[in-house]
Amino acid sequence: AQSVTQPDIHITVSEGASLELRCNYSYGATPYLFWYVQSPGQGLQLLLKYFSGDTLVQGIKGFEAEFKRSQSSFNLRKPSVHWSDAAEYFCAVGARTGGGADGLTFGKGTHLIIQP
């Protein structure tokens, strides 16, 4: 069965500084990878996704992510964060889950705090 690990529960970054959120996955085949963002009290919104092709993918709000097959990683980056980026970030792999169900398997999330 597939799994997703986000090793950082909380990350604090100063406004204007660069950001990297880590994500490692475990999946036997070519993964479909996603990053979602959840603002307080809101549902999840897709930032970007990777299926195949160029391993550096661009997303909304100035985010990008790089797929590294050799490291089973899909880290999210942003060169300069804004206070509005404070949120919960989830990495997910799309696959048939255990028992044949279709859906996303999520990591536990990384809570991003922006310092002024």
Partner 1 sequence: NAGVTQTPKFRILKIGQSMTLQCTQDMNHNYMYWYRQDPGMGLKLIYYSVGAGITDKGEVPNGYNVSRSTTEDFPLRLELAAPSQTSVYFCASSERDYTYEQYFGPGTRLTVT
Residues that bind partner 1 (CB under 8 A): 4, 9, 32, 34, 36, 41-46, 49, 51, 90, 94-109
Strand duo 102-106 + 44-50: pairing? unpaired
Cα–Cα distance for residue pair 27/10, rounded to 1 Å: 25
Nearest distance from C-beta of residue 2 to partner 1, angstroms = 11
Q: With respect to partner 1, which residue has the nearer C-beta, 9 or 53?
A: 9
Cα–Cα distance for residue pair 46/70, rounded to 1 Å: 25
DSSP 109: -
Q: With respect to partner 1, which residue has the nearer C-beta, 15 or 64?
A: 64
Q: With respect to partner 1, which residue has the nearer C-beta, 82 or 108?
A: 108
